[in-house]
Amino acid sequence: WGYSFVLYVSMLGTIAVGLWSNGKEAVDGAMTSFGWIYNFMMVPLQGTMFAILAFFIASAAYRSFRARSREAAVLLIAAVIVMMGRVPLGEYLIPLSGDLSQWILNVLNASVRRAILIGVSLGTVALSIKIIFGMERSYLGGGKE
């Protein structure tokens, strides 16, 4: 419960400071207390969270994308190209990765998006037909007959 207390105190303190400074980060070029909280507390905390998230995703990708077969190797290569193309450092190191990443996401991924859309549409139609004919009553809250 200690972390919850810190969270609520920080949240209420930030709200109070934000209301006190009228929600402005700077007034006439001078930083307000709310701007100080945002620039020197929120921005570094967000950077830390995204860095931790990046390492977590990288470790999960390493564990799941082991190239044991040809298909896994292709998936691994595509994932590396997309990851390198989505960050500025990757585009600096591999200049073509940005264009190749966009091509993979727009062209190769289009079939996956269509398949998911078709699956959702068919499921919606099937559920609608069941509801219309009275075979599905769980939407009324009485799922058991």
pLDDT tens per residue, range 41-50: 888 998 899 8
Alpha helix positions (H), the chain: 2-20, 33-37, 43-64, 70-86, 88-93, 97-103, 109-132
CA distance 12 to 17: 9
Distances in Å between the alpha carbon of 57 and those of 6, 14, 61, 91? Answer: 28, 31, 6, 19
Mean pLDDT of the chain: 85
CA distance 43 to 38: 6
pLDDT at 145: 53
pLDDT, tens digit, 9 for 90 and up, residues 126-135: 989 988 887 7
The backbone region for 22, taken as left when phi is positive above 0, alpha when psi lies in -120 to 50, beta otherwise, is: left
pLDDT at 3: 92
Cut 0.75: pTM above it: no
Over residues 101-114, the mean pLDDT reads 90
